[in-house]
Amino acid sequence: MVKLVFASDHAGVKLKSILIEALSNADYSKEDLGPSSTESVDYPDYAHPLAQSIEVKSADLGILICGSGNGVSMTANKYANVRAALCWEPGIAALARQHNNANVVCIPARFVTFEVALEIMQTFLKTSFEGGRHERRVQKIACS
């Protein structure tokens, strides 16, 4: 079973809840790392634990949501084994998985509708890494 971890900032709480609920009948293990209220929070406090769970392989894929998607993406990408992709439409999510082997999708809550966010997540989850010529490039992403 694929283990998914979710986290957001205050701007992404509502969208995060909707996305988790949309997967209620799906065959995924899901963990919500917070927050649970729309009170202002600092996005790194939630993005770091999610990225750490991907880094140490206690989770397979992550879904991060903040107002623009940029802050959580920047934070998550500090980890060598995390490839967080900022996606504002499903086609970007597909390419992030196919070509970049992204393991975290970052969604900009203030710039996409709930329907588009759901499509982004579903595309991200159902798309596989193509490997081949992309494998060599992905191996060059992390700094050692």
Q: Say which amino acid occupies 54.
A: I
- Candidates 26, 91, 36; CA nearest to 61 is 26
**Contact present, 85 and 48 (Cβ < 8 Å):** no
Question: Are residues 86 and 73 in contact, defined by beta-carbon separation less than 8 angstroms?
Answer: yes
| The one-letter amino acid at 15 | L
Question: What residues are annotated to the active site?
Answer: 66, 99
Give dist(CA 144, CA 135) in Å, integer. 17
- End-to-end distance of the chain based on CA atoms, in angstroms? 30
Contact call for residues 63 and 54 (beta carbons, < 8 A): no
